[in-house]
Copies of this chain bind each other. A is one copy, B any other.
Amino acid sequence: MQSFSEIDNLSPGGGSLMIAWQLKGKRVLLVGGGEVASTRVEHLLGADAHITILCPERGLHLTTKRYIDAYPSRIVYFDRRFTGPSELHKIDLVLTAIDSPATSREIVDLCRKAKIPVNAADIPELCDFYFGAHIRDGPLQIMISSNGNGPRVSAIIKDKVRASLGGHEGLAISKLGLLRSRLKERVPEVGGSVGRKRMRWMTKICNEWLLKDFTFLDDAMIQKLLDDGWEQNRTPTFEEVSGKPSTSPSEDTASQPERASKSPVFGSQYLISIANFAAGAAVMAAFMYARRR
């Protein structure tokens, strides 16, 4: 239960509502084709959007050009500037990445009238939403926002966050998603007590296995996990399901601190210790042997 002061601490204000916008099958208008626009294209393709780019060809960045060539079914390109309100017909989201703040302002005004969410690069006061530093690993996405305090500091924190990840998280989440959908095939009820039981069982597996262990899941293991686990209302260990020992826990210690003491850093330090002990012994032996002669 939260106290009033905790509630106050939880609500510092001054932030953004961090959300994962769904663009599958949606139409996005991107006004501009330069370097900033090219990073927008990357994010939009990653979210399965249909993209219309307006930009005179001489203003196209090489990367934007390559995206246009590589995704002809996803990107419609027009070699011209924004012409007026008709450009917004059936558009779900608008991004501007152009040099003229005046033109951006005009486009934003039209979007407001048409109730279309809009971002104008480099003009925060015109934006319905901001972008941030972004990490993508398969189904895993992480966004870091400094709420307008500079992209460089977001990038520094992004590097730190990325370094804390083991690189296996995306695959592990994909396999977890596969396990979840196999379980749903077996017990397809939506909501209700079965839905809750399914969620509890998935949560339990998530808590008891190391994240990296999920990367090894294959069809046979999923079958065994559901037969021996779900059907018996228990959560078998990774060892039991795979016949192999669990992976090194080093990558998962942040979330599963009880296993931290087995970290391989300890292992390598231990080897260094033995090597140094041996070196010390050898030097002393040589010294004493020399003295004896």
Partner-B contacts on A (CB < 8 A): 1-2, 4, 7-8, 10-23, 42-49, 62-63, 66-67, 70-71, 93, 101, 114-117, 119, 127-132, 134, 136, 138-150, 152-153, 156-157, 159-165, 169, 172-174, 176-177, 180, 191, 202-203, 206-207, 211, 252, 254-256, 269, 272-285, 288-289, 292
- Chain B residue, CB-CB nearest to A285: B284
A45 contacts across to B, CB distance below 8 A: 10-11, 13
**A215 CB to closest chain B CB, in angstroms?**
13
Bound form: Cα–Cα A15–B47 in Å: 4
Bound CA span A144–B22, Å: 15
Instruction: Give bound CA distance, A247 to B3, whole Å.
Output: 35
Q: How far is the CA of A143 from the CA of B177 in the complex (A)?
A: 19
Find A165's partner among B1, B47, B160, B272 (CB 8 Å cutoff). Answer: B160
What's the nearest-Cβ distance from chain B to residue A142, in Å? 5
Q: Which residues of B contact A44 (CB under 8 A)?
A: 17
Judge whether A7 and B63 touch: CB under 8 Å: yes
How far is B9's CA from A45's CA once the two chains are assembled, in angstroms?
11
A152: which of B128, B130, B203 is its contact (CB, 8 Å)?
B203
Contact check, A141 vs B15: say whether CB atoms are below 8 A apart.
yes
With A18-B20, A288-B284 as known contacts, state yes or no: A13 contacts B157, CB within 8 Å: no
**A153's contact among B19, B93, B119, B211, by CB below 8 Å, is which?**
B211
Q: Are B142 and A143 within 8 A (Cβ)? A: yes
Q: Are A159 and B254 in contact (CB under 8 A)?
A: yes
- The CA of A63 and the CA of B3, in the complex, are separated in Å by 9
